A and B are shown apart, each in its own frame.
Chain A
Amino acid sequence: MKAIQQLKLTVQWFVSSRNILVAIIFMSLLSTHILAQTKVAGSITDESGEGLIGANVFIKGTYDGASTDVNGNYSFKTTASGEVIIVATYIGYEETTKKITLKTTNNNIDFSLKESINKMEAVVISAGTFQGGTGTKSEVLKPLDIVTTAGATADIAGALNTLPGTQTVGEEGRLFVRGGDGSETKTFIDGLQVLKPYSTTIPNTPTRGRFSPFMFSGTSFSTGGYSAEYGQALSSALILNTKEKPSQTRTDVSLMTVGAELSHTQSWAKSSLAVQGAYYNMAPYNSVVPQSVDWVKPSETVLANLAARQQIGNGGMLKVYGNISSNNFSLYQYNILYPSAKTLVNIKNDYVYGNASLKNTLGDSWAYKTGVSFTQNKDDIQLENESIIETTKGVHLKSVFSGDLTNNISLSTGGELLYSESEQAYNSFSDGAENIFNFQNPLLSAFVESDIYFSNNLLARVGGRVEYTSLNNQFYMAPRVSLAYKTGENAQIALAGGSFQQAATEDLLRVNNTLDFEKADHLILNYQVVNPKQTFRVEGYLKQYRDLAKFNSNEPFNPNAYTNTGEGYARGIDIFWRDNKSIKNMDYWVSYSFLDTERDYRDFSTTAVPTFASSHNLSIVSKYWVNSIKTQFGGTFSYASPRTYNNPNTNQFNGELTPSYIDLSLSASYLATQSIIIYGSVTNVLGRDNIFGYEYSSSPNNQGEYVARANMLPAPRFFFIGVFITFSKDATLNQLRSL
Chain B
Amino acid sequence: MKNVLTYTLIALSFFLFSFTKGGYETAMENAITEMNQAKDLDDLKSVANKFERIGAAESKKWLPSYYQAYCFIMMTTRESDVTKWDGFLDRADALLDQSQKIKKADMVEILALKGFSSMMRISVDPATRGQEYSMKSAAFLQQANQLDSQNPRVNLMMAQMILGTARFFGKGTEEACQKFEEAKFKFEQEEKEGRGIQPAWGKPQVEAMLERNCGQAVEDK
Residues of A within 8 A of B (CB): 1-3, 5-7, 9-10, 13, 17, 19, 22, 25-26, 29-30, 33, 53-56, 58, 60-67, 79, 87, 89, 91-92, 120, 142, 144, 217, 246-248, 532, 587, 625, 630, 671, 673-674, 730, 732-733, 735-738
Report 20 cross-chain contacts, Cβ distance below 8 Å, ordered by A residue.
Answer: A2-B21, A10-B11, A19-B4, A22-B4, A33-B12, A58-B56, A61-B56, A63-B23, A67-B50, A91-B87, A144-B127, A247-B139, A248-B138, A733-B134, A733-B135, A733-B138, A735-B134, A735-B164, A735-B169, A738-B131
B182 interface residue, CB < 8 Å from A?
A: no
Chain B proximity of A682: nearest CB distance (Å): 24
What residues of B have a CB within 8 angstroms of the CB of A30 in the complex? Answer: 8, 12
| Known A54-B49, A248-B139: A736·B22 in contact at CB below 8 Å | no
> Which chain B residues in 16-57 approach chain A with CB under 8 Å?
16, 18-23, 27, 42, 45-46, 49-50, 52-54, 56-57
With A and B bound together, what is the CA distance between A188 and B168 in angstroms? 37
Q: B169 is contacted by which of A10, A29, A91, A630 (Cβ under 8 Å)?
A: A630
Chain A proximity of B94: nearest CB distance (Å): 11
What residues of A have a CB within 8 angstroms of the CB of B132 in the complex? Answer: 217
With A and B bound together, what is the CA distance between A620 and B69 in angstroms? 43
Cβ of B53 and Cβ of A58 under 8 Å apart? Answer: yes
CB-nearest residue of chain A to B167: A735
Q: B142 is contacted by which of A9, A25, A730 (Cβ under 8 Å)?
A: A730
What residues of A have a CB within 8 angstroms of the CB of B19 in the complex? Answer: 3
Chain A proximity of B217: nearest CB distance (Å): 28
What residues of A have a CB within 8 angstroms of the CB of B131 in the complex? Answer: 144, 735-738
Chain A proximity of B4: nearest CB distance (Å): 5
Cβ of A25 and Cβ of B4 under 8 Å apart? Answer: yes
Complex A-B, nearest 5 residue pairs according to Cβ-Cβ distance, in ascending order: A247-B139, A736-B130, A56-B49, A54-B45, A58-B53
B90 interface residue, CB < 8 Å from A?
A: yes
Cβ of B22 and Cβ of A2 under 8 Å apart? Answer: yes
Chain B 59-99, CB-CB to A under 8 Å as 1, else 0, gives 00000000000000000000000110011101100000000
Cβ of B22 and Cβ of A732 under 8 Å apart? Answer: no
| Known A3-B22, A532-B83, A735-B168: A91·B91 in contact at CB below 8 Å | yes
| Known A247-B135, A674-B169, A735-B165: A54·B42 in contact at CB below 8 Å | yes
Cβ of B57 and Cβ of A79 under 8 Å apart? Answer: no
CB-nearest residue of chain B to A243: B132
Chain A proximity of B35: nearest CB distance (Å): 14
With A and B bound together, what is the CA distance between A3 and B82 in angstroms? 45
Cβ of B49 and Cβ of A65 under 8 Å apart? Answer: yes
CB-nearest residue of chain A to B88: A91
Chain A proximity of B200: nearest CB distance (Å): 21
Most buried by A among B7, B128, B130, B161: B128
With A and B bound together, what is the CA distance between A418 and B88 in angstroms? 44
B203 interface residue, CB < 8 Å from A?
A: no
Cβ of B57 and Cβ of A62 under 8 Å apart? Answer: yes
Cβ of B54 and Cβ of A26 under 8 Å apart? Answer: no
What residues of B have a CB within 8 angstroms of the CB of A25 in the complex? Answer: 4
Cβ of B57 and Cβ of A61 under 8 Å apart? Answer: yes
CB-nearest residue of chain A to B125: A532
What residues of B have a CB within 8 angstroms of the CB of A732 in the complex? Answer: 138, 161-162, 165
Cβ of B134 and Cβ of A54 under 8 Å apart? Answer: no
Cβ of B86 and Cβ of A120 under 8 Å apart? Answer: yes
What residues of A have a CB within 8 angstroms of the CB of B164 in the complex? Answer: 735
Chain B proximity of A234: nearest CB distance (Å): 33
B186 interface residue, CB < 8 Å from A?
A: no
What residues of B have a CB within 8 angstroms of the CB of A9 in the complex? Answer: 11, 14
What residues of B have a CB within 8 angstroms of the CB of A2 in the complex? Answer: 18, 21-22
| Known A247-B135, A735-B169: A60·B56 in contact at CB below 8 Å | yes
What residues of B have a CB within 8 angstroms of the CB of A736 in the complex? Answer: 126, 130-131, 134, 168
What residues of B have a CB within 8 angstroms of the CB of A120 in the complex? Answer: 86, 90
What residues of B have a CB within 8 angstroms of the CB of A142 in the complex? Answer: 128
Most buried by B among A54, A587, A732: A732
8 further interface pairs, Cβ-Cβ under 8 Å (given A79-B16, A587-B127)? A10-B11, A63-B54, A65-B49, A87-B56, A247-B136, A732-B162, A733-B138, A735-B134
With A and B bound together, what is the CA distance between A60 and B52 in angstroms? 11
With A and B bound together, what is the CA distance between A9 and B17 in angstroms? 14
With A and B bound together, what is the CA distance between A13 and B142 in angstroms? 58
Most buried by A among B8, B14, B16, B90: B8
> Which chain B residues in 153-192 approach chain A with CB under 8 Å?
161-162, 164-165, 168-170
Cβ of A26 and Cβ of B4 under 8 Å apart? Answer: yes
Chain B proximity of A739: nearest CB distance (Å): 10
CB-nearest residue of chain B to A623: B127
Most buried by B among A30, A58, A79, A737: A58
| Known A120-B90, A532-B83, A735-B130: A730·B4 in contact at CB below 8 Å | no
Cβ of B42 and Cβ of A53 under 8 Å apart? Answer: yes
With A and B bound together, what is the CA distance between A55 and B42 in angstroms? 10
| Known A674-B165, A732-B138, A736-B131: A54·B57 in contact at CB below 8 Å | no
What residues of A have a CB within 8 angstroms of the CB of B20 in the complex? Answer: 62
With A and B bound together, what is the CA distance between A625 and B126 in angstroms? 13
Chain B proximity of A706: nearest CB distance (Å): 52
Chain A proximity of B183: nearest CB distance (Å): 16
What residues of A have a CB within 8 angstroms of the CB of B90 in the complex? Answer: 120
With A and B bound together, what is the CA distance between A67 and B14 in angstroms? 30
> Which chain B residues in 186-217 approach chain A with CB under 8 Å?
none
Cβ of B49 and Cβ of A26 under 8 Å apart? Answer: no
With A and B bound together, what is the CA distance between A89 and B53 in angstroms? 10
With A and B bound together, what is the CA distance between A33 and B142 in angstroms? 54
What residues of A have a CB within 8 angstroms of the CB of B42 in the complex? Answer: 53-54
Most buried by A among B125, B127, B134: B127
Chain A proximity of B100: nearest CB distance (Å): 12
What residues of A have a CB within 8 angstroms of the CB of B12 in the complex? Answer: 29-30, 33
What residues of B have a CB within 8 angstroms of the CB of A10 in the complex? Answer: 11, 14-15
| Known A91-B91, A733-B134: A67·B45 in contact at CB below 8 Å | yes
What residues of B have a CB within 8 angstroms of the CB of A60 in the complex? Answer: 56-57
What residues of B have a CB within 8 angstroms of the CB of A532 in the complex? Answer: 82-83, 125
Chain A proximity of B180: nearest CB distance (Å): 15
Chain B proximity of A383: nearest CB distance (Å): 48
> Which chain B residues in 110-153 approach chain A with CB under 8 Å?
125-128, 130-132, 134-136, 138-139, 142
What residues of A have a CB within 8 angstroms of the CB of B45 in the complex? Answer: 54, 67
| Known A3-B18, A53-B42: A63·B87 in contact at CB below 8 Å | no
Cβ of A6 and Cβ of B18 under 8 Å apart? Answer: yes
Cβ of B138 and Cβ of A7 under 8 Å apart? Answer: no
What residues of A have a CB within 8 angstroms of the CB of B139 in the complex? Answer: 247-248
| Known A3-B15, A3-B18, A732-B138: A92·B87 in contact at CB below 8 Å | yes
Chain A proximity of B67: nearest CB distance (Å): 14
Most buried by B among A25, A63, A87, A738: A63
Chain A proximity of B132: nearest CB distance (Å): 8
With A and B bound together, what is the CA distance between A2 and B19 in angstroms? 8
Cβ of B134 and Cβ of A67 under 8 Å apart? Answer: no
What residues of B have a CB within 8 angstroms of the CB of A17 in the complex? Answer: 4
With A and B bound together, what is the CA distance between A29 and B206 in angstroms? 51
With A and B bound together, what is the CA distance between A121 and B105 in angstroms? 32
What residues of A have a CB within 8 angstroms of the CB of B88 in the complex? Answer: 91
With A and B bound together, what is the CA distance between A304 and B7 in angstroms? 85
Cβ of A89 and Cβ of B130 under 8 Å apart? Answer: no
CB-nearest residue of chain B to A54: B45
With A and B bound together, what is the CA distance between A29 and B162 in angstroms? 62
Chain A proximity of B90: nearest CB distance (Å): 7
CB-nearest residue of chain B to A76: B53
With A and B bound together, what is the CA distance between A13 and B8 in angstroms? 10
With A and B bound together, what is the CA distance between A26 and B53 in angstroms? 32
